Amino acid sequence: MIKTVKYTRDILPEEFTNDLSAQSHRFQHVEAVAREAFRRYGYREIRTPIFEHTELFARGVGQETDIVSKEMYSWTDVNNDRLTLRPENTAPVIRSYIEHKMWASSDLVKLFYIGPMFRRERGQKGRFRQFYQIGVEVLGKSDNPAIEAEVIEMIYWILDELKISDTELLVNSVGCPACRPQFNETLRRELAPLLRELCADCNRRYETNILRVLDCKQDAERTAQLTPILDLLCRECNLHFLQFRSYLDHKGIPYRVEPRLVRGLDYYTRTAFEVTSRTLGAQSALLGGGRYDGLSETLGGPPTKGFGFALGLDRFVMSLPHDLADPSRPELYIAYLGERAFAYAMTLISKLRRQGIACVMDFEQRSLRSAMKLADKLKVAKVLIVGDNELDQGQLILRDMRSGEQQLLTEDELLRFFHGQK
RNA sequence: GCGAGCAUAGCUCAGCUGGUGAGAGCGCCUGACUGUGGAUCAGGAGGUCGCGGGUUCGAUCCCCGCUGCUCGCCCCA
């Protein structure tokens, strides 16, 4: 049997899987709520290719990051192009922003995207090699922290609307090109004498990404005595962070300052944030994002401020309430008896569908009993029964599957009945 | 890339220190019920016990290897 590739999976209609985290209607629901949020907040959809030139990610995300150095699906095309399945979508969106000169037509560009990303990681709860992200990017001339607060407010609206609770917002500032070298240096100096006491991972991080040492759970006790990164920010970064926090306070959005929060992608500057959930297991990040003011220049574009986030659709789906109903189930099942009724049902069902009614019928001649069983299994709300008797009398039977009540209707009355429902 | 656990029917699992016949619940199909579902009852279909090797008179059970899944580390959404 040919199966899905390791650590990938099918997202299925609910009738084919008990796994709530893999049911397609739950994905649809998160997408629908997110799209409504984007509509209200003025975001426009962008769809970029799922593969790009490898160089885009090497330069945008950073050659030394885990993503680029070991997790990308890359290949050389027949014409020797180096191509990569996108591992994230901020760099592609910036690429598009530059390619289509969006800066020329608007000072502030607000984009959203929904789609699959690919990373060659080991699978785990809430982590797959093909996973889905919904994200936004705010691009333009302004780096006003009010932009950041508005984005986070929108995130909270989405979380509320989806009834996802038990979450926590963590915020931090990772500085800018002006102050980061300095606090990296300070960190290096303060950590040097401690290195022998720190775990193996931290010794490695000391060389590769020193900020990550702060994120280590094992060595939390020892690193707690270091100068907090927030004390080392430059004037401008410090002011920016304070303003950002005051806007959150103003909006009544609760958060926790987490000086250990460090994002793993190179392009982040200043504000970094994450929303975690207690219910997710080891991979607790529901979403993450931050500011990336230099990214456009890095990719050959004009100086541009940027802020955005991406949410893990797979993880959102896991966090949704368990009892979410699937609204895409058919409402009506047509049970027919005999050839004449079959021909009639064929044309009637077309009329109903053109009116927007979700209705289905079976194509085998079967007993009314087995048709009813089928309708029951489909969980339709109503069943229309039509046989020779009904055709002769010009009256159809409409049965409510919940109450068991039946009424007689002419075809016109039926069409009007469902029309009124819409 | 590293570590641990698991692998028996479509699903969830049982199978008592290796010993005649491979099981349960749910689901599925049929009938009791010639044109009325859910409940009940009676039948039925469905399994190379993940794959390969070894130990043994005998392996679903013990050992080794492989594969897959799951969870954790790293890292991220």
Domain CATH for A389: 3.40.50.800
pLDDT value of position A15: 86
ipTM score for this prediction:
0.88
A245 with A106, same domain?
yes
Q: Report, in ranges, which bases of strand B sit under 7 Å from a protein C-beta.
A: 1-3, 11-12, 28-31, 33-38, 68-77
- The set of long-range contacts for A284-288, using a CB threshold of 8 Å and a minimum separation of 24, is A285/A312, A285/A315, A286/A164, A286/A167, A286/A311, A286/A312, A286/A315, A286/A316, A286/A319, A287/A155, A287/A311, A287/A312, A288/A263
Q: How do residues A55-67 score in pLDDT, each as one tens digit?
A: 999 999 988 888 9
Higher pLDDT, A205 or A90: A90
The answer to whether residue A201 is domain-embedded is no
* Highest mean pLDDT, choosing among A69-73, A155-159, A333-337: A155-159
pLDDT value of position A180: 83
The answer to whether residue A304 is domain-embedded is yes
Q: Is the CB of A398 under 7 A from strand B?
A: no
| Spatial distance between the Cα atoms of A332 and A353, rounded to a whole number of angstroms | 10
A378 with A267, same domain?
no
| Spatial distance between the Cα atoms of A49 and A347, rounded to a whole number of angstroms | 41
A243 with A384, same domain?
no
Q: Using alpha carbons, select from A105, A184, A162 the residue that is nearest to residue A139.
A: A105
Cβ–Cβ under 8 Å, residues A373 and A335: no
Higher pLDDT, A109 or A193: A109
Provide, in whole angstroms, the distance separating residue A76's CA from nucleotide B61's C1': 50
Asked if residue A341 has pLDDT above 60, the reply is yes
| Mean pLDDT in residue range A27-44 | 98
Q: Determine the structural domain holding residue A341 and report its residue range.
A: 332-421
Q: If pLDDT is split at 50, 70 and 90, which confidence band does A422 have?
A: low
| Mean pLDDT in residue range A213-232 | 75
Name the closest nucleotide to A130, judged by C1' and CA.
B77
**Lowest mean pLDDT: which of A74-83, A100-109, A213-222?**
A213-222
For strand B, list residues 15-44 of chain A whose Cβ lies within 7 Å of it. 18
Q: Which residue minimizes Cα–C1' distance to B74? A: A201
| Spatial distance between the Cα atoms of A346 and A361, rounded to a whole number of angstroms | 9
For strand B, list residues 266-285 of chain A whose Cβ lies within 7 Å of it. 274, 281-285
* CATH code assigned at A131: 3.30.930.10
Provide, in whole angstroms, the distance separating residue A335's CA from nucleotide B44's C1': 27
The answer to whether residue A4 is domain-embedded is no
Q: Is the CB of A65 under 7 A from strand B?
A: yes
Q: If pLDDT is split at 50, 70 and 90, which confidence band does A421 have?
A: low
Q: Is the CB of A409 under 7 A from strand B?
A: no
Angle at alpha carbon of residue A299, lines to A296 and A300, rounded to 5°: 90
A292 with A354, same domain?
no
What is the residue-wise DSSP string for A125-164? TTB-SEEEEEEEEEEES---HHHHHHHHHHHHHHHHHTT-
The answer to whether residue A217 is domain-embedded is no
pLDDT value of position A340: 92
A346 with A411, same domain?
yes
pTM of the model: 0.92
The answer to whether residue A7 is domain-embedded is no
Domain end position, chosen among A319, A342, A361? A319
Domain end position, chosen among A290, A319, A348? A319
For strand B, list residues 163-192 of chain A whose Cβ lies within 7 Å of it. none
Number of domains forming the structure of chain A: 2
The answer to whether residue A364 is domain-embedded is yes
Name the closest nucleotide to A276, judged by C1' and CA.
B77
A370 with A300, same domain?
no
Q: Is the CB of A234 under 7 A from strand B?
A: no
| Mean pLDDT in residue range A118-137 | 95
Q: Is the CB of A415 under 7 A from strand B?
A: no
Q: Is the CB of A286 under 7 A from strand B?
A: yes
The answer to whether residue A166 is domain-embedded is yes
Higher pLDDT, A223 or A251: A251
Name the closest nucleotide to A312, judged by C1' and CA.
B77
